[in-house]
Amino acid sequence: MGAPMIQRPIFQKFSGSLFIALYLTAGQGKDYSLNVSGNFYKVIVSVCGLFGIGEAAFAGAWNQRAGEGQVISTSSWTHAGRIFNDEFEAVDLQGFTKTETRLYLEQGVTDWLTLVGNGGLQTLNFRDADSSFDFDGLDDVELGVQVKTHAREGLATSVRLSYIVDSQLENRAVDVIGGGDLIELRGLIGQSRETLLGDVFYDAQVALRSESLDELDGAQAALTMGYRPTSRWLTMMQSYANYSKAEEVEGNPAPEQFQFNVNLSLAREYKPGRYIQVGAGQTFAGKNIVQERSVFMALWVEY
């Protein structure tokens, strides 16, 4: 759902935190995945918070097989005591907190076409010397289709087209996605490899976002790296960068924004097709956005 900013009164719209839930799942007989030690692996990367869509939640490069799918439920908590200004400097903030629960769904229609849905509920509070607000409601919602463009053992590429429904959160200091519904085009590539010390993988994505299709309103880049030392345990690191151009939101000027975040997580398969994941993240650099610190827990079910 790929942006994760807060506000001085000029900012309008942003979803507090961005959490990305990452999963490495094992299945059987998927010709577009990597066969490692007799198991097929696919990467699922899900942003929570930012859409989370964080703005986006997003799937990995491996598509679902026809008739199969997965559901990911994520709960997260974020806080911030500083905010990045227009000069990329972190300055003190009275306070920012956000809690969110998201649901992410993938459904394979054919072996080359997968439907994607991502939405959630959020509660956030922002306090600063010259601006305060509270919000309790829907976060950005993503509806998309993902098409497999290439697949061979250990490598997959795909393209996704999504429509992102604006959450109506009227504060850009906590949301790097623009102040309106957006169309997103995303390119994805993933690769896995077996080593003597365990299995490793990466998943890289680049997304372009536009409100009216006549100009670029935002962009996101994300890189996930994972290491699986045993068949049941997986460690992951994801870094992502979000950008949103300056614009007017409901007649108020909203500044240009940038956010760079890193998340670390640990996942365990507790029964076949069932995973639990815990992780933490932080915003390390930004422009006109809160400096978030977050923790999250996710449950994933494959069917």
Residue 296 in contact with residue 238, Cβ under 8 Å?
A: no
Residue in this structure with the two tokens 């790296």, named with its chain if needed: 225
Whole-number pLDDT of residue 84? 94
Neighbours of 3 (CB within 10 A): 37
In this prediction, residues 65-73 reach a mean pLDDT of 95
In this prediction, residues 197-217 reach a mean pLDDT of 93
**Domains of the chain: residue spans and CATH:** 19-293 (2.40.160.40)
In this prediction, residues 220-224 reach a mean pLDDT of 96
For the whole model, what pTM was predicted?
Answer: 0.80
Count of CA atoms in the C-beta half-sphere (13 A) of 246: 7
**43-52, 109-118, 182-191: segment of lowest average pLDDT:** 43-52
In this prediction, residues 276-284 reach a mean pLDDT of 96
β-pairing, 252-254 vs 257-271, is: unpaired
Distances 120 to 53, 186, 193 between C-alpha atoms, Å: 10, 21, 34
Q: What is the DSSP string of 135-199?
A: EEEE--EEEEEEEEEEEETTEEEEEEEEEEE------GGG--S-SS-EEEEEEEEEEEEEETTEE
Summary mean pLDDT of the chain: 81
